[in-house]
Amino acid sequence: MENMIAQFKHEVNNATEETFHSSVCSFLNLWSYEYGSFEHLPNEIHHLLHISQYDILTVDHE
C-alpha cells in the first residue's frame, strides 16, 4: 500500500492538469481492484481526491 501511495503522490506532484486526472483515475481503479472499496484511503489521498473531479468520497452511497 505504501508503494502505491508514494507512486501516486509522485505522479500527482509532477502532473499537468490532463495527467493529474488520468493519474487519479488510474489510482482509483487500482485501489478498488486491490482493496475492494475506498473506505480505508489515507487522509493524504482524500485531500488529493477532493481537489479533483473524482470527489467520490463525499458521495452518499446508501
> pLDDT tens, 3-62?
999 999 899 888 888 888 888 889 989 999 999 988 888 888 887 776 656 555 544 444
Predicted TM-score (pTM) above 0.75: no
35 contacts 4 by C-beta, under 8 angstroms? no
pLDDT at position 52, please? 59
Query: DSSP secondary-structure letter at 30?
Result: H
Q: Count Cβ atoms within 10 A of the Cβ of residue 37 and give its class: 0-12 exposed, 13-18 middle, 19 or more buried.
A: exposed
Q: What is the C-alpha separation between 61 and 3, in angstroms, rounded?
A: 28
Closest CA relative to residue 8, chosen from 35, 31, 39, 32:
31
